[in-house]
Structure 1
Amino acid sequence: MGVVPPSPLDPTLNFRTCTQQANLSWLRKETPMETTDLLLAIVHHILVFSVAALIACESVLTRGELSAAAIKRLAGLDRHYGILAMLVIIVGAGRVFYGLKGWEFYVYNWVFWAKMISFLAVGLLSIIPTMRFLSWNRQASANANFTVPAAELSSVRFYLRAEMVGIVLILIFAAAMARGYGY
């Protein structure tokens, strides 16, 4: 005959007796390596989604006519975009070298390299918009009547859309990696 669990109405029932009788392995303490891996993953995800949000903001701001204030805002957003992209690389490297999966998982994983190539492509695609934003900001500061040339604005919109496609590819490859594909 099996052990009968105590009644929830039992006055002697408390947390200690419940944990002694139940299998609560999920309450175990994490090792420092597991905690480091978790923190790196959280920060990495927040940074990646922040980069995606900034690309979306730039895309929205470039939809219509650009005032001097909007151009200044674009330059500021793009500066933050660059800083966050560098932090993504730094934290990502931390995940490779200090994460639970170990560097071998990443080095020999073709999906990881596809994700890195996509990230590199997004970075390269961002060069033209960055140069345009800086140029427009300088020109708008020097000339109150400056208007963004339509061809340049159209070009920037194209590059921003291409960056968004690259971000989607990065997310697809990240989901595949998380499920063990490519190793």
Structure 2
Amino acid sequence: MVDLLLAIAHHLLAFTLVGALAVEFAVIRPGLERAQVSVAAAADAIYGMSALLIIIVGVGRVVFGLKGWEFYIATPAFWAKMAAFGVAGVLSIRPTIVILKWRKAGHAEAIPLKDIEKVRTALKAELFFLALVPICAAAMARGY
């Protein structure tokens, strides 16, 4: 039963994370207005909390899951999945810093297009690496 609950939580958190990133990507685009920055900041906070909880629940799945930790550490697809998630996490740092900077600035100045483009590029890269996670998970479930 614990394995099932951890799996459900893990999947729901993953969908939450991707949804939050999709909101960020939809909101942060050319023409971004200061009023929308709070939406982006909220989505970014949800993204960060989801990522943290995914890690916690994921560790729980490795330790308490039916397959046992031995399965995970011996599976190359598991490590590829961890690497993809880790890269996405590192890529998320810059957008978070920029969004916080925008929020702190308030309505004082217009958001430069080059800043928006840089954040969107990072978000696209995050989406790419996050797309690798379920691919690796499918391979992992089959013992690759």
Instruction: State if a TM-score over 0.5 links the two structures.
Output: yes
1:126 aligns with one of 92, 95, 109: 92
Letter in 2 for 1:158: T
Rounded to whole Å, the distance in 2 between the matches of 1:175 and 1:64 is 36
Rounded to whole Å, the distance in 1 between the matches of 2:75 and 2:138 is 13
Rounded to whole Å, the distance in 1 between the matches of 2:118 and 2:102 is 14
Show structure 1 runs of 4+ deviating over 4 A. none
Q: Which has the higher helix share?
A: 2
Rounded to whole Å, the distance in 2 between the matches of 1:116 and 1:110 is 10
Q: Post-superposition shift, 1:127? A: 0.6
The answer to whether the aligner puts 1:175 opposite 2:138 as a matched pair is yes
The answer to whether the aligner puts 1:161 opposite 2:124 as a matched pair is yes
Residue in structure 1 matched with residue 81 of structure 2 by the alignment:
115
Tell me the secondary structure at the aligned position of residue 106 of structure 2. Answer: helix
Residue in structure 2 matched with residue 18 of structure 1 by the alignment:
none
Rounded to whole Å, the distance in 2 between the matches of 1:152 and 1:140 is 15
1:151 aligns with one of 106, 114, 126: 114
**Larger relative contact order, structure 1 or 2 (CA cutoff 8 Å, min sep 6):** 2
Rounded to whole Å, the distance in 2 between the matches of 1:127 and 1:103 is 29
After superposition, residues 12-51 of structure 1 pair within 5 angstroms as 35-51=1-17
- Structure 1 stretches of 5 or more lacking a match? 1-34
TM-score by length of 2: 0.96
1:99-139: per-residue Cα shift (whole Å, max 9, x none)?
Answer: 00000001111110010010110000001100000000011
Rounded to whole Å, the distance in 2 between the matches of 1:63 and 1:136 is 14
TM-score by length of 1: 0.76
Number of aligned positions between the proteins:
144
Rounded to whole Å, the distance in 1 between the matches of 2:94 and 2:45 is 14
The RMSD of aligned alpha carbons is 0.9
